[in-house]
Amino acid sequence: MSAVTTTAPSEGRIGLRANARHIGALVRRNALQIKQDPESMFDAVLMPVIFILLFVYVFGGAIAGKGNQEDYVNYVTPGLMAMMGINIAMAVGTGVNDDFKKGVMDRFRTMPIARSSVLLAKIVVEVGRMLIATTILLGMGFLLGMEIKTSLLDLLAAVGLSVVFGASLMWIFILLGLTMKTAQAVQGVAMLVLMPLQFGSSIFAPPTSMPGWLETFTDYNPLSNLADAARNLINGGPVAHSVWMTLAWAAGITLVTAPLAVARFRKKT
């Protein structure tokens, strides 16, 4: 393997135009895989429907009051946009791990392409799946009574913010997929981290109803910042702090984990 790796051209010799072409080719390859295996889209298509129905009709009455589920739709739908990004991002890690098991990644590393292009192509395709999941989620929200109290541009800004943050999380899961031995291990570690972040946030309920220590935790939880930003963009309210905090988290996560993931990809055997 080391002999093969040393014969491959270094990334430094690959220009931006060639790199973009490689990413495009790999995106087409990943998209064709989805076309050949439509079942791989079940999570992106069905999760939004299940989640919004579950939380609106199981928890909506308890949080907003019986018969006021429609009011809860406007609260929880923007929060679920953050949750969609997390669940789609998790699939990237398991997919990368599975590709290594099948030898697909070893084949890519023998080609004269930038190592980062393989991982970036994965992210581009998963961003597409995230947009599909978010579109279905918003469609269900509108069917259940959600209203845009600001403007269409604000709604698109909320979607864009969710995509940016979700894309940054993908680097974490790619790194996990390259580090853990099995896809099951990737899922197990991811759930241990994500469950407290998801439920210890403002996604499902206002933090004011939580104990003081948990309310403090939600203030620093990046998912709360994203949920609050998307919620205020759609429903109206102050957005500057939560938007900038979300972008800062996304930039920080990407700057730390993307180089680690690319380095790990180069060295993994």
Give dist(CA 202, CA 213) in Å, integer. Answer: 14
110 φ, ψ (degrees, to nearest 5): -90, -10
- Between 140 and 195, the more confident residue is 140
Q: Is residue 67 part of a domain?
A: yes
pLDDT given for residue 197 in this prediction:
86
What is the pLDDT averaged over residues 28-57?
A: 84
Q: How confident is the model at residue 64 (pLDDT cuts 50, 70, 90)?
A: low
Q: Is residue 2 part of a domain?
A: no
12-26, 173-187, 253-267: least confidently modelled range: 12-26
CB 84 within 8 A of CB 47: yes
70-79, 100-109, 136-145: least confidently modelled range: 100-109
Give dist(CA 180, CA 198) in Å, integer. Answer: 22
Range of 139's domain? Answer: 11-267
Give dist(CA 40, CA 29) in Å, integer. Answer: 15
Q: Is residue 5 part of a domain?
A: no
pLDDT given for residue 1 in this prediction:
39
pLDDT given for residue 7 in this prediction:
40
Q: Is residue 4 part of a domain?
A: no
pLDDT given for residue 252 in this prediction:
96
End-to-end CA distance of the chain: 8
pLDDT given for residue 184 in this prediction:
85
Q: Is residue 104 part of a domain?
A: yes
Q: Is residue 202 part of a domain?
A: yes
pLDDT at 162 over 90: yes
Q: Is residue 65 part of a domain?
A: yes
- SS3 at position 4: helix
Give dist(CA 188, CA 165) in Å, integer. Answer: 22
Q: Is residue 1 part of a domain?
A: no
- SS3 at position 39: helix
Global pTM reads 0.84
DSSP code at position 67: T
pLDDT given for residue 10 in this prediction:
45
Give me the number of domains the chain comprises: 1
Give dist(CA 20, CA 15) in Å, integer. Answer: 9
- Residue 45 makes CB contacts below 8 A (sequence gap 6+) with 132, 133, 136
Alpha helices in the chain (DSSP H): 2-7, 16-36, 42-54, 60-64, 69-102, 104-109, 115-143, 152-179, 183-199, 212-220, 222-235, 240-267
